[in-house]
Amino acid sequence: MFRKVLGLFPTGVTIVTTWDDQGRPVGATVSSFNTVSLDPPLVLFSLARNSACCEAFAAGGALAIHVLGHEQSELSSRFARGGGDKWVDLNYAPGELGAPLLDDTLASFECSLFAQYPGGDHIIFVAEVDNLRFRDGEPLVFCAGGYRKLVAKDVCA
């Protein structure tokens, strides 16, 4: 019931990326992303402790957070699944800090790990934003177990 009711809260969809200790790119889809502070610029996300890539993020290397556009639901689903090579046929390159940056996302934040905290069955990662980029477009939204599209309405008529 708790999970179902939480699922009624619409969230944006992000993919977090870093490198593992073997120098391979790792990443996961997360909807638990938000701002913490403007000065210094801090954001946070959380990962399940049993996530295959949680240890790579906990190691404290450079990381990137990618905000997905509404046309990127397939990319979100790819990084939400466990196992397999999520990186096959993807265009990506190291950013200024070295974290793997996915091409063509709506926005990306290049970050360094600021802090991490236990959060039940998750780890909460706080990251300091060192660089960012963005493009025009509509965000991918997740709510009630599915991807959604925002509908713009003029509320100031």
Tell me the domains of the chain and their CATH numbers. 1-148 (2.30.110.10)
Q: What confidence tens digit (pLDDT) does each residue in 21-44 have?
A: 999 999 999 999 999 999 999 999
- Sign of the Cα torsion 143, 130, 94, 51 reads negative
Q: For residue 138, what is the DSSP state?
A: P
For position 153, what pLDDT does the model report? 64
Tokens of 126: 């706080």
Q: For 133-148, write each residue's pLDDT tens digit.
A: 999 999 999 988 888 8
Q: Is the pLDDT of residue 85 over 90?
A: no
Helices (H) and strands (E) in the chain, counts: 3, 12
For the segment 127-131, the average pLDDT, to the nearest whole number, is 97
Percent above pLDDT 70 for the chain: 96
Reported pTM: 0.91
